[in-house]
A and B are shown apart, each in its own frame.
Chain A
Amino acid sequence: MSARDRILERVHSRLKRPTPVSVTRPERTQAPMARPVTNVLQDFIARAESLQSTTDHVADLNAVPAAVAQYLQARGLPRKSVIWPSLKALDWFSCGLTAEARPPVSEDRLGITETFCGIAETGTLLLHSGVDHFSTTSLLPETHIAVLPVDRIVERMEQAFALMQSELGQLPRATNFISGPSRTADIEQTIVIGAHGPRRVHIILVG
């Protein structure tokens, strides 16, 4: 008998019944949200900012490079970025930015991604991996800028999963919920922003 069989054997004998072949789950109403959402966009912005993300709002996708340039200018950050290939068509050059559509290396300081959707309940971004969706773009560079169309903000996490199910069919390798810049409180319970991941998360809302 393998360890697997022995563990499963113990589980069903301790529970005094054979291993079920199917399970009927109790009917449950939709789980309550922790904090209700009254205005999807406003609540998303307020909650994202309370998690130390910053936000900007532009009319359409073509306005994104200028918004990025402005953000970098205001903080004195370098104007060189790595982007997801899906953002390649935007005119970065005329805003004085370089944007390379490739996965980042550790030295890259700015990563720009799209966002699968936003979640208003917690001010969270949902990104997923894929052939053109490098997971590391939102992880290795010290600044992460996420582009998020406002009509892609849902109220709650369950809706984000439903959206993935309907648009992607199954979960991609990595599904990452991102709520602000990385942080730690491991020394003296003091919160420090910028642990191993980005020090800044900037969300550019579109539409």
Chain B
Amino acid sequence: MKVSSGEFKGNARKQLADAALQSNLRRFGGGFADRRRDALVKVDDFESLRDRAASIRAEVLENLDYWLLKFEAEAQRRGTQVHWAETGAEANQILLNIARQAGVQRVVKSKSMVSEESGLNDVLTEAGMTVTETDLGEYILQLAGEPPSHIIAPAIHKSRDEVSDLFVKHHGTPRTDDIPALCEEARGQLRPHFLAADMGVSGGNFLIAETGSVTIVTNEGNGRMVTTLPRVHVAMTGIEKVLPTLEDLSAILRVLPRSATGQDITNYVSILTGIRDDGAMDGPQENHVILVDNGRSQLLGSDLHDALRCIRCGACMNHCPVYQNIGGHAYGWVYPGPIGAILTPAYLGLDKALDLPQASTLCAACEVVCPVRIPLPELMRVLREQELTQGLRPWHERLSIRLWRWLALHPRLYAFAARWGTRALRWLAGKDRLLHRLPGLDGWTEGRDMPAPQGETFRDQWRRKQSADRKIIPIRVGSSQSKKTAGLEK
């Protein structure tokens, strides 16, 4: 997928100015959070389910190579061919070779975020094959020629009117803005594609090491079609997706759908193991799994290690105030929201996504909802620190931090600057006490006003309080700025 994470600020500005998008985000953005909450009300002790899920994912990463090898051996024993790809491009090439060898013309896909990473569709199309996305959201976006804006609801930024326009244009059918009718139309359009396809490409929510299986978690049923009807099935997934046992899968499935869509369980959980049984009437005759690294192994043992626990539920973006305002496209790559703000720089390089770790208020809503307890705000802080120490922040930002540091080390000067600074801001703000522009910080004031500081500085208030308190009871203060109080105590 084309990367535009480097232009985050410009992208975000565009999204904020897009009235249609803003209205769509307002109307549909909150739904996931409400549904998750409603699902959790029914659960006895979600925290212990999260603990279990987090501990399983953390344990897997500690022995990732062991579990991958176990998965490989079991999958091969059942007749699945296992491939390894270091990059997205390599994964595409492997898939292309499989398709060519099997004489594939028509490919149907269920959702695979890794194939978004690698830009698979373009490669297959250029090789002369037809590729059809069959997840409704992905299908809409394929018609629109857009990338997904959310990992589980790819077309969440589109309204029914926009979908209607696309369907009229591409299907040549009469216009309807009835949502069930639109879904029905997509069902009718896509059914022949499922039946005619030679190859199905899916992602893999989980790989099960003890059985050599690929697990996919879906609602629409397209995932089942894609992995059942065509004669070749290829699952493309990340190396971190492995789980040791089916028991571990059971525990993880208690948190994934609840965190994602607020469902107790998704409509379909399909565990796919090997190839069509002898004498069976359905199922692929050829089954492949492509294990894609694409930057993941570099995170192991690093400060960002814990991000690899992610099970792609989307709860972090569903609860992120920044994501809710700018939508997924602003993040400029496959994974938006808080997890994207970590994975994008981690996989692609910090210099390619400088502003993503900054695109957060560090309010920590993401950490609170993460089903595998990834410390997302902490990881963003780590990346911010790396940006600074690697000299990747712009010169004026580094200069202002240095200035502040110098000032903070000179308390008297700091107090002086704070006192006169607040006065100046108050004067600039005028009667309505709001700053509509801040010299040098136009980006900040463009979308909002800054309230002028009210009253005295903290230091002034502190000093006044101390002199008042001294007359009543002495209080214990250990700092060097309160020699008088300290003296009194002695």
Q: Which residues of A contact B (CB under 8 A)?
A: 2-4, 6-8, 10-12, 14-16, 19-20, 22-23, 25-26, 28, 31-36, 47, 51, 103, 106, 122-124, 129-131, 134-136, 139, 156-158, 161, 170-190, 192, 194-198
Stretch at the interface among B11-19, B63-71, B309-317: B63-71
Nearest chain A CB to B192 CB, angstrom units = 8
Query: 6 additional contacts, CB 8 Å, given A14-B300, A129-B283, A197-B220?
Result: A7-B84, A35-B43, A174-B272, A186-B154, A187-B155, A196-B220
Nearest chain B CB to A53 CB, angstrom units = 10
B487 interfacial contact with A, CB 8 Å:
no
| Assembled-state Cα–Cα distance A192/B28 (Å) | 15
Give chain B residues whose Cβ lies under 8 Å from the Cβ of A31.
Answer: 49, 52, 247, 250-251, 254
Contact B258 A34 (CB under 8 A): yes
Known: A171-B273, A179-B267. A15 touches B62 (CB 8 A): yes
| Assembled-state Cα–Cα distance A8/B163 (Å) | 44
B276 interfacial contact with A, CB 8 Å:
yes
The 8 lowest CB-CB distance pairs between A and B, nearest first, are A197-B221, A195-B220, A182-B221, A186-B137, A4-B84, A14-B300, A186-B136, A177-B269
Interface of A is mostly: loop
Contact B300 A15 (CB under 8 A): yes
Give chain A residues whose Cβ lies under 8 Å from the Cβ of B266.
Answer: 179
Nearest chain A CB to B195 CB, angstrom units = 6
B86 interfacial contact with A, CB 8 Å:
yes
Nearest chain A CB to B228 CB, angstrom units = 5
B265 interfacial contact with A, CB 8 Å:
yes
| Assembled-state Cα–Cα distance A32/B49 (Å) | 7
| Assembled-state Cα–Cα distance A195/B293 (Å) | 33
A-B contact pairs, 18 of them (CB 8 A): A3-B86, A15-B301, A26-B59, A31-B250, A135-B283, A174-B283, A176-B270, A177-B265, A180-B267, A182-B267, A183-B219, A185-B153, A185-B219, A186-B140, A186-B153, A197-B221, A197-B224, A198-B221
Q: Which of A122, A158, A192, A196 contacts B225 (CB 8 A)?
A: A196
Contact B45 A32 (CB under 8 A): yes
B335 interfacial contact with A, CB 8 Å:
no
| Assembled-state Cα–Cα distance A122/B183 (Å) | 26
Nearest chain B CB to A149 CB, angstrom units = 22
| Assembled-state Cα–Cα distance A151/B64 (Å) | 39
Give chain A residues whose Cβ lies under 8 Å from the Cβ of B65.
Answer: 8, 11-12, 15, 19-20
Known: A36-B44, A197-B221. A192 touches B183 (CB 8 A): yes
Q: 8 Å CB contacts to A: which residues of B245-270?
A: 246-247, 249-251, 253-254, 258, 261, 264-270
Contact A124 B265 (CB under 8 A): yes
Give chain B residues whose Cβ lies under 8 Å from the Cβ of A136.
Answer: 228-229, 282
B407 interfacial contact with A, CB 8 Å:
no
Which residue of A is nearest B52, CB measured?
A: A31
Nearest chain B CB to A203 CB, angstrom units = 14
Which residue of A is nearest B229, CB measured?
A: A136
Q: 8 Å CB contacts to A: which residues of B98-157?
A: 134-137, 140, 153-156
Q: 8 Å CB contacts to A: which residues of B8-33?
A: 27-28, 31-32
| Assembled-state Cα–Cα distance A180/B221 (Å) | 11
| Assembled-state Cα–Cα distance A99/B109 (Å) | 33
Bitwise, B53-83 to A at CB < 8 A (1) or not (0) is 0010001001111111100000000100000
Nearest chain B CB to A69 CB, angstrom units = 26
Known: A172-B277, A195-B221. A34 touches B254 (CB 8 A): yes
Bitwise, B182-222 to A at CB < 8 A (1) or not (0) is 11100100110011000000000000000101000001111
B275 interfacial contact with A, CB 8 Å:
yes
Known: A130-B280, A171-B273, A192-B179. A139 touches B187 (CB 8 A): no
Give chain B residues whose Cβ lies under 8 Å from the Cβ of A139.
Answer: 221, 224-225, 228
| Assembled-state Cα–Cα distance A103/B158 (Å) | 38
Nearest chain A CB to B151 CB, angstrom units = 13
B5 interfacial contact with A, CB 8 Å:
no
Nearest chain B CB to A48 CB, angstrom units = 11
Which residue of B is nearest A136, CB measured?
A: B282
Contact A131 B277 (CB under 8 A): yes
Give chain B residues whose Cβ lies under 8 Å from the Cβ of A197.
Answer: 220-221, 224-225, 267-268
Contact A187 B298 (CB under 8 A): no
Q: Which of B84, B269, B273 contacts A3 (CB 8 A)?
A: B84
Contact B220 A184 (CB under 8 A): yes
B488 interfacial contact with A, CB 8 Å:
no
Contact B270 A7 (CB under 8 A): no
Give chain B residues whose Cβ lies under 8 Å from the Cβ of A32.
Answer: 44-45, 48-49, 52
Which residue of B is nearest A26, CB measured?
A: B59
Q: Which of B44, B222, B277 contacts A34 (CB 8 A)?
A: B44
Nearest chain B CB to A162 CB, angstrom units = 9
The listed residue with most B CB atoms (<10 A of its CB), out of A19, A187, A189, is: A187
| Assembled-state Cα–Cα distance A181/B267 (Å) | 7
Contact B66 A23 (CB under 8 A): yes
Which residue of B is nearest A142, CB measured?
A: B187
The listed residue with most A CB atoms (<10 A of its CB), out of B78, B187, B194, B213, is: B187
| Assembled-state Cα–Cα distance A15/B211 (Å) | 25
